[in-house]
Structure 1
Amino acid sequence: MIKKHQIYKKDNWNMMTVEVNGRELILREISDEWGEETHKFISRPEMMQWASDRFPKEKFDNEAEWEELMNAFREV
């Protein structure tokens, strides 16, 4: 059974979802700038490391926005 989590969705062209398929995590990032990217992770810690590298806290003007994004990843 595949369980799908929405990390964020701004519109049909800017969204990120994570599908949990057994132990495998499949992250899909869709943006109007880069198109669709798919990343596969074997563990949650691996995904969280990717998320913290991809979304460094310093790049966010609003720390609450960053916390909200990281909480969405933690809930997967």
Structure 2
Amino acid sequence: MFKKHQIYKTDKYNMLTVEVQGKSLIVREISDQWGEECHTFLSRPELMNWAEKRFKPEDFIGKEEQYEAIIQALREV
């Protein structure tokens, strides 16, 4: 049994989910540009390290609330 967290979903082609499977955190990122990417992390700090590299504040200029919501949702996994 695993728990799935939806971090964001803008439509059926753009979403990010995290599945907690025991000690593993499996991130599935689906985008209309890149298709589906899957990342497996063994700890929350490892997940947040990836998230800070993947989601940069400068990419969200004018959309700071969206950035904060994504990072906060990942912290709450």
Report Cα offsets for 1:31-55 as digits up to 9, x if no partner: 1100000000000000000000000
The 5 A counterparts of 1:2-17 are: 2-17=2-17
* Letter paired with 1:9: K
The root-mean-square deviation of aligned C-alpha atoms, in Å, is 0.7
Q: How many residues align?
A: 76
TM-score normalized by structure 2? Answer: 0.94
Query: Who is 1:53 aligned against?
Result: 53
Identity %: 61
**Segments of 4+ in structure 1 off by > 6 A?**
none
Long gaps (5+) in structure 2: none
